[in-house]
Amino acid sequence: MQDHIKVFKALSSKPRLKIVRLLKEHPQCVNAIAKRLGMTQSAVSQHLRILKEAGLVRGKKRGNWMHYEISSENLERYGRSMAEVFGVWIKPNTTTEGSVNCPPGLLRECRGKTPGSKTKKEGKV
């Protein structure tokens, strides 16, 4: 029952639902998500933390960037559990692996500098 509560709470926020929809497309970094949703990186990070705690999302380090993706294993487990609640079975979409960095269309957003951020040359990643 506690798992159900965590999942429902995590999905009860419009920004978190938007993040989940974006991550269904392919894994993405915080910069890309923030840019696409018009949110700050810190706001996206907070929403991702809640989604991770609920087991819906996981992060994977790719190069210098952390990319977030849907946790297919947990989603399937939650789907079975939710099926018991609702009396139906919904099979989740499988996510596809992204490239080492972001897909070409979002690569610029991933590498986008934010105020106060430094590149490797400047001594901070």
Residue entry with tokens 């960037």: 65
Give the CATH class of 2-111. Answer: mainly alpha
What's the whole-model pTM score?
A: 0.66
Instruction: Give me the pLDDT at residue 62, please.
Output: 84
DSSP string of the chain, one letter each residue = -HHHHHHHHHTTSHHHHHHHHHHHHS-EEHHHHHHHHT--HHHHHHHHHHHHHTTSEEEEEETTEEEEEE-HHHHHHHHHHHHHHHT---PPPPPPP--SSS-HHHHHHHT---TT---GGGT--
Instruction: Give me the pLDDT at residue 107, please.
Output: 62
Q: What is the pLDDT along the chain (125 residues), one digit of tens a residue?
A: 677 788 889 989 999 999 999 998 899 999 999 999 999 999 999 999 999 999 999 999 988 889 999 998 887 777 777 777 777 655 555 544 444 446 666 666 666 654 444 544 444 44
Instruction: Give me the pLDDT at residue 125, please.
Output: 45
Instruction: Give me the pLDDT at residue 85, please.
Output: 73
Cβ burial, residue 75 (10 Å; 0-12/13-18/19+): buried
Instruction: Give me the pLDDT at residue 74, please.
Output: 82
Query: Residues 51, 36, 14, 86: what is their CA dihedral angle, to the nearest 10 degrees?
Result: -60
Map out the domains of the chain as residue ranges.
2-111
